[in-house]
Structure 1
Amino acid sequence: MSDQGLEQGDAVAARLREELARRRMSRQALADMARISLSTLEKALSGSRPFTLATIVRIEEVLGAPLRPTGPPAGGRDLAPESMGAYSRAAVHWIEQDYVTLRASFGTPGAVIAYRTRIAWDEKAGHLGFAESDRADGAFAQSGHVSMPNLSGHIYLATNESGQHRLIILGRPTRDGHMFGLLTTLQVGAGSQLVPVACPVAFVPQAQLAGLAMGVTGMGDPMFDACKAILDRALQDDFCRWRQ
């Protein structure tokens, strides 16, 4: 038997001993009700013979309680919830990496904002998450979950902070690994007023823009033309559309 099988057998035995003690039930009584021999039960509890699936099922029916683990494995959950697209970890491994995020500057006309976004599996939560860093306005860095439903074929990066939402919708990556779409968020307006704002956005694998300084990139900067050309593809290649 494999190490994993032995561990599961030990867990079942420990759970069964606990149930017997809690119910003050004898092993003989359990064996009789489950229609198994006392010898079979004793050997399984001592670890000298593994529990068969049929034996476990019979005992569970008698006790009315599960003996086998029903939750996620100790290593974490590998299937995202249905509300995020029910994707498996193995199926979305390709998206896990660091990206340079490019979008239009809200404060400097014509300039491009660059910052980092990491997309990675959240072991505890059991789904993809994202986190932004190296933003010029670090206080507004976002983090949240990633939805990837098969129905639309798009990728959704959503932030929800006390009911306040920010959303990025991206298309599937191109051959060079770029992802394009739209960002919707809130911009500081007059005084303390927040105004809804949207703009095209591009995600580029970090290694492809290794020499780019994060922050505001404007005309005259060495990599401005390259960043602007990438960002312009969002509309030019119909990854997203403006409508008025």
Structure 2
Amino acid sequence: AEFAVKNLKAKKISIISMDNDFGRAISAGFAERVEKLGSAILTKQMYKFPGEKDFRPFLTRIKEGNPELIFAAGYYNEAASIVRQAKELGITAQILGEEGFDSPKFLEIAGSAAEGVIIATNLDRDDPRPVVQNFLTNYRKAYNEDADMVGASSYDAFMILVNAIAKVGTDAKAIQKALLETKDYNGLTGKISRFVQGEVVKPVQIQVVKGGKFRRLAVIDNLEVITPPLKK
């Protein structure tokens, strides 16, 4: 939302999201932030998940409103169908996705329709740090495909756990305390500043599909944006 309004200058935005816990939460949070920043949500539509394959009715309604940007929430199968069908309908609005798009499968299924799609995720393929570039190289060697945010997040989670055990041993409560006290960890997915009620505080990576691959577009590190809200 921050990038959509402040960087892309989108004033009129439509939302299409899968109807599950993740989709409802992320679309609600996105809409709230967009409106707080002064832009308008024209339409918000939820599609059946799993099972929806025909997004044309949703996209036709979106096209009628002529938004400058479409925020789409879904996993790679749905995401690929949305961008392909949007292109078929002649929709030219910028499509902004989330980490569910972050998969080589999305690029494969969407094909040329993926070009120019922007996503908010947590893996920056163009981060020059050795921890990132070595991971990307080794992942491709091991699995014969490019890494995604799931692999990167899993690596960070495992290494943070390893570090905690190395510090405090194998007592469960001590490990939990050490995990929650993690500060300024130089992670694969960025500098993990700290945890707030178990939720991580770290930069959001903005990637764009360019030449059929995810490439760095921007990094969001505004603490107001990347710090999870306190749970009541």
Q: TM-score, with normalisation over the residues of structure 1?
A: 0.23
Larger Rg: 1
Normalized per residue, the structure richer in helix is 2
